[in-house]
Amino acid sequence: NAGVMQNPRHLVRRRGQEARLRCSPMKGHSHVYWYRQLPEEGLKFMVYLQKENIIDESGMPKERFSAEFPKEGPSILRIQQVVRGDSAAYFCASSPPRDSSIAGVEQYFGPGTRLTVT
Amino acid sequence: AQSVAQPEDQVNVAEGNPLTVKCTYSVSGNPYLFWYVQYPNRGLQFLLKYITGDNLVKGSYGFEAEFNKSQTSFHLKKPSALVSDSALYFCAVRVSSGGYNKLIFGAGTRLAVHP
């Protein structure tokens, strides 16, 4: 069973460009979380999604950032008009459905996408 | 406010010595607590969790953690450190809101094990 997959692993964008980060959850997982890790800091929750629904986006900046988790395909975190302060590692995690015996107990993390804005 | 604190930015230990990485939490209700490890340029790997039951929880790679409700702590321990244990360690607590769960992480503690 493949783990959580994220691509690209490294992404370089110039200021003002758009960044698209993809996350494919573990097979059978229907919950996806995005976290941001700034240099030398811990992980900060950004958004929690289920298929086709945003459940909690309280950690997401109000402007330029958006996330989706369509019925088919990976979850996408989109950052428009990137700025230097967006440079960070972005991690995706997934967890099983709520009716699973271990629902919500553990989150499984992907390897992250390291975004560098030049 | 619900939070997790890791009071030490870095812990230095000699190989073969016991290690402790500290974590304290503040949540309402019974806590679900986790430890994750992050190796350089990698994602987070799950080490262990406390849900209920025995206060001493055993996890991967010989690590264990002790839940102390009165001190609201969940310190990570290992009896004999290895150089390969050098990494960034995160404590996390699960919080529930609106019928779903999310994790709140501490700032992380960098463990350096010296030969």
What is the per-residue pLDDT for A43? 87
Give the span between the Cα atoms of A108 and B109, in whole angstroms: 20
Q: Is the pLDDT of residue B39 over 80?
A: yes
Q: Is the pLDDT of residue B70 over 90?
A: yes
Maximum mean pLDDT: which of A25-29, A97-101, B40-44: A25-29
Q: Find the mean pLDDT for residues B62-67.
A: 96
Residue range A68-79: average pLDDT?
95
Q: At residue A2, what are phi and psi to the nearest 5 degrees?
A: -65, 150
Q: Which helix (DSSP H) or strand (DSSP E) does residue A49 occupy?
A: strand A43-50
**Calpha distance B15→A66 (Å, rounded):** 45
Q: Tokens at residue A57, please?
A: 């986006």
Q: Is B8 exposed, middle or buried (0-12, 13-18, 19+ CB in 10 A)?
A: middle
For residue B21, what are the CA distances in angstroms to A10, B25, B52, B81, B87? 30, 14, 21, 12, 12
Q: Which residues of B22-48 are buried (b: 16+ CB within 10 A; e: fewer)?
A: bbbbebeeebbbbbbbbeeeebbebbb
The closest of A37, A12, A74, A45 to B88, measured between CA atoms, is: A37
Contacts of A93 in chain B (CB under 8 A): 44, 103
In a 10 Å sphere around its CB, with 0-12 CB exposed, 13-18 middle and 19+ buried, how is residue B101 labelled? Answer: buried
- pLDDT for position A103: 45
- On the question of pLDDT at B110 being above 90, the answer is yes
Q: Which position has the token pair 């030049």?
A: A118
Beta bridge partners of B66: B56, B75
Are the beta carbons of A114 and B41 separated by less than 8 Å? yes
Instruction: Give the CA count within 13 Å in the CB-facing half-sphere of B114.
Output: 5
Closest-approach residue (CA) in chain B for A50: B100
Which band of pLDDT confidence, cut at 50, 70 and 90, is reported for residue B101?
A: confident
- The residue type at A83: V
Q: How far is B115 from chain A (nearest CA, A)?
A: 24
Residue B44 Cα, gap to closest chain A Cα (Å):
6
**B43, B51, B107 ranked by CB distance to A109: nearest:** B43
